Amino acid sequence: MATQEQTLKPLTRDEVAKHNKAGDLWVIVDSIVYDLSKFGNLHPGGIGVLLDEEVAGQDATTVFYGLHRSEILLRPQYQRLKIGQIEGEKQLIKHMQPGDISRVPYGEPTWLTPEFKSPYYKESHRALQKVMRKFVDEVIYPDAQACEESGKRASKEVLEAMAKTNLNAMRLGPGKHLHGRELFGGVVKGEEFDYFHELVLNQEVARMGARGYGDGLNAGMVIGLPPVLNFGQEPLRSKVVEEVFSGQKVISLAISEAFAGSDVANLKTAATKSEDGKFWTINGTKKWISGGMHSDYFTVGAKTEGGLTAFLVPRGEGVETKQIKTSYSTAAGTAYITIDNVKIPAENMLGPEDGGLLVILSNFNHERWVMCCASARSSRMVVEECLKWAAQRQVFGKPLLAQAVIRAKFAAMIAKVEAIQAWLESVTYQMNNMTYKEQSRNLAGQIAFLKMQSTRFAGEIADDAVNIFGGRGLTKTGMGKFIEQFQRTQKFDAILGGAEEVLGDLGVRQAMRKMPKDVRL
């Protein structure tokens, strides 16, 4: 930015003021002079607003930032509009660069705020956060914004770049599968990777505000691959895990059906064993399968004689996927799947016959915790957007933030994001200090409550955010685009991985089970 300022022609405000009509139209935004003479007729907001006597030939900084996101001025096509800079003045507005930490209060969790300390994060968490933020900003974000809008899946380049850093493997959480792997070029050792490293990755992805795209970005793998990794039979297990980690193949979890959601024990998809026991034939349907449109493999739950069994079903004859249009982007690849007489070898069974419920349930805590990470971070992103907007938007001659009713909304929103992050970090610390079995025993209730509360708060935050942004919170482009998307999509977190009510009840039932029989009032 400094070089650009040096090369721009110095101009005075008096000179600029002479160019104040159609065909000869200059304006100043943050000390930079823009020649809008030709652009005026192409301006999406129309030429009329630019000819206003307080805009044409004048300093339009305040009015500009009341109407546009600052990223507009960074678009390559608008660089040619810059013709000079006001003599002796400097740009006061700092545009975020890839990898930057927000300086907006509460724009980052406290551990990323310079004045605050945290007992949870070590040097390797901080190093991972730095490279991941830059990677997301530079590699994923532009693709995410384009695909969220077009509905297309993440580009091959992004998926390949993710595989190269070993991001796919990291998103499955700590474990032996990471040992000996080079993570983000060696920023963190596979052996020391813990749940706080994973939290960092989840939150950095959620921060970019592309909900449908985010789910299409191998979120299906996060829930679909663990049953293969933990219960698959060799050599199929290693083959599939490597194919997915390296980005050659995509996997998703296919459990829910039109007939059964939270009550997984009532699935209708059924598997029958051949007489010689070498094959299974599967028939049924699956619904709302995130990433299903992009998947080569499906981790399927099916009814068997004595219960439920999990299978790895490859895409092939008899397996068909149809796009479901949900309220978020089709970039998520949400699918309806029909499985008609699909014959698979017995080696594709994941875990014991009739033991599928455990295979599926064993990953639920992790899945829900991943969603808590994302919900907490996207809620915070919304609070940051609202704070920026309320500080720069002028109403009745003052910033929106000068209104007490607006400040009261911020008090509620900020308290919610801080509370959720603090609880999330506390749960994450417990996860780091418990075996997987202990986590299932002790944290199912905590995580269920955390998810329930995070998504309830997200709903309340969405509501306040839309009211702060007004019509812009309902508009897909422009100032409020992230608010519009958040209010439209935050409900996904409230439903996926267990609806709020189901989770709340699960938490209470867990507590009841632990209630000592010998206590009295």
Binding status of residue 49 toward ligand HEM by CB under 6 A:
yes
Q: Which of 50, 132, 424, 461 binds ligand HEM (CB under 6 A)?
A: 50
- Tell me if 76 contacts ligand HEM by CB under 6 A: no
Pick the binder of ligand HEM from 51, 67, 146, 346 (CB under 6 A).
67
**For residues 72 and 408, which CB has a smaller minimum distance to ligand HEM in the complex?**
72
Among the listed residues 33, 55, 452, 458, the single contact to ligand HEM using CB under 6 A? 55
**Hey, what amino acid is at 91?**
Q
Residue of 222, 281, 232 lying closest to 253 (CA atoms) = 222
Closest distance between ligand HEM and the C-beta of residue 270, in Å? 51
Least distance in Å: CB of 208 to ligand HEM?
18
Residue with the two structure tokens 């509460």:
106
Tokens of 414: 């900020």
Residue 385 Cβ vs ligand HEM, minimum distance, rounded to whole Å: 14
Q: What span, in angstroms and rounded, lies between the C-alpha atoms of 180 and 190?
A: 6
CB of 32 to ligand HEM, least distance (A): 8
- Taking 3-state DSSP, the helix, strand and coil percentages for the chain, each rounded to the nearest 5, stand at 50, 15, 30
Subset of residues 469 to 508 that bind ligand HEM, contact rule: CB under 6 A: 477-478
Asked if residue 34 binds ligand HEM (CB under 6 A), the reply is: yes
Min dist. Cβ of residue 81 to ligand HEM (A): 6
Is residue 27 a contact point for ligand HEM (CB under 6 A)?
A: yes
When the beta carbons of 78 and 116 are compared against ligand HEM, the nearer one is: 78
Measured CA to CA in angstroms, residue 116 lies from 110, 111, 124, 295, 385 at distances of 6, 6, 18, 43, 22
- CA nearest to 227, candidates 337, 349, 71: 349
Q: How far is the CB of 92 from ligand HEM (least distance, A)?
A: 16
DSSP 494-517: HHTTS-HHHHHHHHHHHHHHT--T
Does position 44 bind ligand HEM by CB under 6 A?
Answer: yes
Beta carbon nearer to ligand HEM, 61 or 467: 61
Of the residues 1, 9, 12, 72, which one makes contact with ligand HEM according to CB under 6 A = 72
Q: Is 394 in the site for ligand HEM (CB under 6 A)?
A: no
Count the residues of the shown chain that bind ligand HEM, applying the rule CB under 6 A: 21
Q: Count Cβ atoms below 10 Å from residue 270 Cβ, excluding itself.
A: 16
297-304 and 251-254 as β-strands: parallel, antiparallel, unpaired?
A: parallel
Among 63, 187, 346, 502, binds ligand HEM (CB under 6 A): 63
CB nearer ligand HEM, residue 60 or residue 132: 60
Structure tokens at 416: 């919610």
Distance separating alpha carbons of residues 82 and 32, to the nearest angstrom = 7
Instruction: Give me the residue whose beta carbon is nearest to ligand HEM.
Output: 45
How far apart are CB 72 and ligand HEM at their closest, in Å? 5
- Scanning 60-68, 162-170, 262-270, 275-283 for contacts with ligand HEM by CB under 6 A, the matching segment is 60-68
Instruction: Determine if 297 is a binding residue for ligand HEM (CB under 6 A).
Output: no
Residue 471 CA, distance from chain mean position: 24
Closest among 219, 210, 217, 71 to 148, alpha carbons compared: 210
Considering the rule CB under 6 A, would residue 78 count as an interface residue with ligand HEM?
yes
- 60 contributes a contact to ligand HEM by CB under 6 A: yes
Among 45, 98, 185, 316, binds ligand HEM (CB under 6 A): 45
Kindly state the smallest distance separating residue 373's Cβ from ligand HEM, in Å.
30
Q: Considering only CA atoms, give the Rg of the chain.
A: 26
Only one of the segments 48-56, 88-96, 388-396, 419-427 lies at the binding site for ligand HEM (rule: CB under 6 A); that segment is 48-56
Which residues touch 354 (CB under 8 Å, ≥6 apart)?
A: 304, 305, 306, 307, 308, 309
Helix 195-206 × helix 404-432 angle, to 10°? 150
**Tokens 């016959």 label which residue?**
353
64 interacts with ligand HEM by CB under 6 A: yes
By the rule CB under 6 A, 29 interacts with ligand HEM = yes
Distant-in-sequence contacts of 274-282, Cβ < 8 A, 24+ apart: 277/346, 278/345, 278/346, 279/343, 279/344, 279/345, 279/346, 280/311, 280/343, 280/344, 280/345, 280/346, 280/348, 280/349, 281/341, 281/342, 281/343, 282/311, 282/313, 282/339, 282/341, 282/342, 282/344
Alpha-carbon separation of residue 90 from 30, 85, 93 (angstroms): 8, 8, 9
| Window 80-99: contact mask with ligand HEM (x via CB under 6 A) | -x------------------
The answer to the question of residue 407 lying near ligand HEM (CB under 6 A) is no
Q: Which residues bind to ligand HEM, rule: CB under 6 A?
A: 27, 29, 34, 36, 43-45, 49-50, 55, 60, 63-64, 67-69, 72, 78, 81, 477-478
